[in-house]
Amino acid sequence: MLKEFILSFIATLFFAIFLNCPKKSIAPVCFLAAFAYIIFSFSQNIYTPVASYFISTFFIAALSEILARIFKMPATIFLIPAIIPLVPGMGIYETMINLVAQNFEIAASKATQTIVNLSAIAISIVIVLIFTKILTTIYLFLKKEYKNHMRTR
């Protein structure tokens, strides 16, 4: 557990520097990615892979929207580096290697798994985005009532 935490932290750290992340946001991004990876590997013992992808991505997406409000930066800055360790590279690799070795049945099942996992990640991001939009609209509405101006971002 600790080993996974440290390794995903360091890997995300270097990847964030590679993407030229602003210095202020590097530390929160690394912690976010490391905790999400822990949640992912822990929930894999309980739930199916699809559910664990969904849960851990939900964690990342929700927290990156919150961090974006705190640090006054776009949410993408937190979302993109933190989500990288969760991309199902293993599925893509296994699909490809089985295609090369002409094991088409295994390749097809691996490809289906990968696509389902990727869609779990996608749907999780979408749900967080919709929630954020609803909450932002409510917030703006209230603010317009009280202070009569609606420019926030």
Residues 120 and 55 sit within 8 Å (Cβ to Cβ): no
Q: Which is nearer to another protein, 7 or 51 (CB)?
A: 7
Q: Which is nearer to another protein, 19 or 27 (CB)?
A: 19
Binding segment (CB under 8 A) for another protein, from list 43-51, 66-74, 138-146: 66-74
The answer to the question of residue 1 lying near another protein (CB under 8 A) is: no
Handedness of CA 89, 32, 65, 82 (dihedral sign): negative
Binding segment (CB under 8 A) for another protein, from list 9-17, 42-50, 137-145: 9-17
Residue in 86, 29, 40, 95 with CA at minimum distance from that of residue 63: 29
The secondary structure element, H or E, covering residue 99 is: helix 89-100
Candidates 4, 42, 106, 140: give the one binding another protein (CB under 8 A): 4
Candidates 50, 62, 84, 140: give the one binding another protein (CB under 8 A): 84
Candidates 129, 131, 136, 143: give the one binding another protein (CB under 8 A): 129
| Residues 6+ away with beta carbon under 8 Å from 90 | none
